[in-house]
């Protein structure tokens, strides 16, 4: 069994009198796809914001490859090999698909603005083009980001995150807005990223078709707490999970 790349230990996050995440612990093992699922409001995106250092938990620890990251600023996380996408898109709408992905190549290094003012070298251009093709946006290479539909914008955000060459990729609802054939392509891509490229993926997603197909392990949250964890088969049969998704009494139906 591979060692954990990410260890979340007993984190609690509060906003005023509201506890958004309560004593949550889980491990994400190197080179696997780990899904974090639960009903709306379960606290999943709050956990992502803690890992990517936008929030600081009131208690607990988060360790990346043996290093405690809670003292590290959010803008330094890319240098540690952590990239993420967002539930609410964070793209440059007036820039082209190519330009948005190019920004991802530079956003983790010093002198980003100066580098953008120069023509990128051949290696960088080839990387950007390969990522655009990999997510299925080659035909939209020169299209402005704001002219893409929501699903295609999600794919663009994924390509930009991959431009960071991450070892840990945090994906917040990457299948939102995608058509069925695009979800199938995303399934293949994420499986390839973990299997061939060795990228560790932590996924928040409501499209259960995707979650159950690709996840090596699933952590289920409800009202800020972990209620189940295991393989897709194990969590799909767990009475607490069935109740959280379908309502009280469903587990015994």
Nearest to 164 by CA among 238, 104, 113, 239: 104
Q: How far apart are CA 26 and CA 242, in angstroms?
A: 20
Q: Which fold has domain 1-81+166-253?
A: Rossmann fold (3.40.50)
Element (H, E) at 162: helix 150-162
Reading the block at residue 223, the tokens are 């009202």
Query: What residues does each domain of the chain span?
Result: 1-81+166-253, 89-165
Q: Which residue stretches of 38-137 are H helix?
A: 44-51, 97-106, 112-116, 122-134
* Model pTM score: 0.90
> Which residues, listed in sequence order, are joined to residue 219 by a DSSP beta bridge?
36, 229
Task: Confirm if 202 and 168 have CB atoms less than 8 A apart.
Answer: yes
Q: Which of 87, 67, 69 is nearest to 77 (CA)?
A: 69
Per-residue pLDDT of the chain (253 residues; tens, 9 = 90+): 677 999 999 999 999 889 999 999 999 999 999 999 999 889 999 999 999 999 999 999 999 999 999 999 888 898 899 999 987 777 889 999 999 999 888 765 544 445 555 678 899 999 999 999 999 999 999 999 999 999 999 999 999 999 999 999 999 999 988 899 899 999 999 999 999 999 999 999 999 999 999 999 999 999 999 999 999 999 999 999 998 876 655 454 4
Burial of 95 (0-12, 13-18, 19+ CB in 10 A): middle
Contact 164, 176 (CB under 8 A): no
Q: Contact at 8 Å (CB) between 192 and 180?
A: no
Asked if residues 33 and 190 have their Cβ atoms less than 8 Å apart, the reply is: yes
Contact assessment for residue 224 and residue 42, using Cβ atoms and an 8 Å cutoff: yes
What is the maximal distance between C-alpha atoms in the chain? Answer: 64
């Amino acid at each position: 069994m591979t060692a954990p790349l990410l260890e979340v230990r007993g984190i609690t996050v509060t906003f005023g009198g509201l506890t958004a995440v309560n004593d949550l612990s889980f491990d994400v093992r190197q080179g696997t796809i780990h899904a974090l699922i639960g009903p709306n409001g379960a606290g999943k995106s709050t956990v992502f914001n803690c890992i990517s250092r936008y929030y600081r938990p009131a208690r607990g620890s988060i360790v990346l490859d043996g290093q405690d990251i809670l003292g590290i600023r959010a803008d330094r996380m890319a240098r540690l090999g952590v990239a993420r996408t967002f539930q609410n898109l964070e793209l440059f709408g007036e820039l082209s698909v190519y330009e948005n992905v190019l920004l991802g190549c530079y956003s983790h290094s010093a002198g980003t603005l100066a580098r953008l003012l120069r023509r990128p070298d051949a290696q960088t251009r080839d990387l950007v083009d390969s990522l655009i093709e990999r997510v299925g946006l080659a035909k939209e290479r020169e299209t402005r980001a704001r002219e893409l539909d929501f699903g295609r914008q999600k794919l663009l955000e994924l390509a930009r995150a991959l431009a960071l060459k991450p070892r840990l990729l945090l994906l917040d609802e990457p299948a939102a807005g995608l058509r069925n054939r695009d979800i199938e392509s995303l399934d293949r891509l994420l499986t390839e990223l973990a299997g061939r490229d060795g990228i560790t993926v932590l996924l928040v997603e409501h499209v259960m078709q995707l979650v159950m197909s690709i996840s090596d392990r699933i952590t289920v949250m409800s009202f800020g707490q972990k209620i189940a964890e295991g393989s897709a088969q194990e969590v799909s049969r767990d009475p607490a999970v069935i109740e959280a998704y379908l309502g009280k009494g469903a587990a015994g139906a």
